[in-house]
Amino acid sequence: MSFVKKLYSRNFFILNLILVGVLLGAGLTYLGISRGARSAAVTSAILRAESPADSAPANVKAALAEAEAVQDAFRYVADKVQPAVVEVNVVEKAQAPESNPQDQLPWRFFFNAPDDGSGQQQQPFTEKGLGSGIIVRQDGKTVYVLTNNHVAGSASDITVITHDGKDYKATLVGKDERKDIALIKFQSDSQGVSVASLGDSSAVRVGDWAIAIGSPLGLVSSVTTGTVSAVNRSGGPDGNINDFIQTDASINKGNSGGALVNIRGEVIGMNTWIASSTGGSIGLGFAIPINNVKKAIDDFITKGKVEYGWMGIGLDSLDKASANELGADPQKAVIAASVFKSSPAEKGGVMPGDVILSVNGEEIKEMEQLQRIVGDLPAGKAASLEVLRDGKRQSVTVDIEVRKDSTAANDGNYFPGLIVRSLKYEDLDQDKLPKDVKGVFVLSVADKSPGSIVGVKAQDIITEVNDKPISSVKEFYAAVNDASAKKLAFTVNRDGETVSTLAYVKK
């Protein structure tokens, strides 16, 4: 048979077909084994990358599980609260200010604002700034946002940017400088607006988790974490009467008005100011406790302003020496230095020199605390005060009235209108005091008050009241309150000379 015929023979074709099949099978087997090996290697690498703790000791695995549980809690808080915190952009019309070094303090404007470096503007101008806010209520289409007065209180134009990036024009509902709070509102057709859950700031303890949410430097919906460093801090900027929650959660310009929340996602405070030598966060942030502003939110919505209770007491905090002369605890010495004439306090029997120990059973430790308590008392209600007078505890009842700024600011109605200190007052230079002089040191005199009218001046040493020698703060107030005396006159030592004042006729 020729070679060509063999190529086309049946037996040769079958043989070729078998050989091709063997070769294909061998090739596919090789490819399958190779791919499987590579796949197994990749899978092994992925498993090693995704589960590095698989080979960790049992105690490490348990610790990692606990850490992930905390991480889940933070994620929950962020998811829950971020939609209820907004960015607040403002435009404020400003007048050319006088140069003042205090304007550069870090807390002066605790929100982002341009600084041209000049320190002074010669012409009226508009100033842009930003802060944060907390959605606290929705009534139909009206959404209410709580923020700081120093953020939005003087703004001519307010824009709110929500977590989803939408912006709304907002208007001011009300503001209050004493607590540095403001309420703004905007209109939204959405019925699903996230409203923050307000917690109980009185339950906050040092060491609690603290989570700050806001727009620092314009970085919207930033979340920082830390702990509560302290509670009941006082001494806020610009005469703020709040106490504060101190936190080391990172807070910067733009956080002002934002939320400080606990690990449950409840708002416990509103971030307000920082203490810093650089203007940036150094772990000293301060928030207004949310309990301080709950009543104010309702007041803003119903009245457009915060309505404070008023007694009519000129308060002062006492130094250790003066408190000792009154028989009071220096750590809890808040005194009624003067009493407003015809005020609820005078009608209720409060006298100058009374050391206020408690109000409605709540112990008083500092002046700002007493101001907050009285301010939150509703007008028309009676308040029970325990006072220390002549070394004895007494109870008085005062009917609270509404505080009117115009009335409260009239220092001329405060009797006697003097702030006095023991001659052993720690800040007095004993070497500069006249030798062998007894009495009380006059720290300040209220303008147009009886003390001012008769001629008492700051830095005088009052040695006699109505010709009766005195040697302590206790004796001074006993003489001032003497019901048998129809007038009030003083003998003072002024620059080493003895001076008699005019007499004020009591009414």
Residue 431 pairs in a beta bridge with none
Taking the C-alpha atoms of residue 381 and residue 195, their distance in angstroms, rounded to an integer, is 32
Identified catalytic residue from 180, 299, 316, 319: 180
Per the structure block, which two tokens stand in for 94?
Answer: 């400003």
Half-sphere exposure of residue 370: CA atoms within 13 angstroms, side-chain side: 26
Q: Provide the 8-state DSSP code for 438.
A: -
Pairing of strands 259-261, 244-247: unpaired
**150 flagged as catalytic:** yes
Question: Which among 361, 366, 402 has a CA at the least distance from the CA of 383?
Answer: 361
Task: Catalytic residue, from 256, 281, 338, 343: name it.
Answer: 256
Question: Going by C-beta distance under 8 Å and a sequence separation of 6 or more, which residues neighbour residue 85?
Answer: 132, 133, 134, 135, 163, 196, 213, 214, 221, 258, 259
Question: CA–CA separation, 217 vs 130, rounded Å?
Answer: 8
- Residue 95 burial (CB < 10 Å; 0-12/13-18/19+)? exposed
Is residue 472 among the annotated active site residues? no
For 241, 346, 360, 412, 434, the CA distances from 311, given in Å and listed in that order, are: 16, 8, 14, 16, 38
Q: Which of 132, 150, 222, 299 is catalytic?
A: 150
Q: How far apart are CA 293 and CA 268, in angstroms?
A: 11
Q: Which residues lie across from 392 on neighbouring strands?
A: 389
Cis-peptide, bond into residue 416, ω within 30° of zero: yes
Query: What pairing do the DSSP bridges indicate for beta strands 85-94 and 157-161?
Result: antiparallel
| Residue 256 known to be catalytic | yes
| DSSP states of 40-107 | HHHHHHHHHHH-TTTTS-HHHHHHHHHHHHHHHHHHHHHHHHGGGEEEEEEEEEEPPPPP-GGGGSTT
Residues that are catalytic: 150, 180, 256
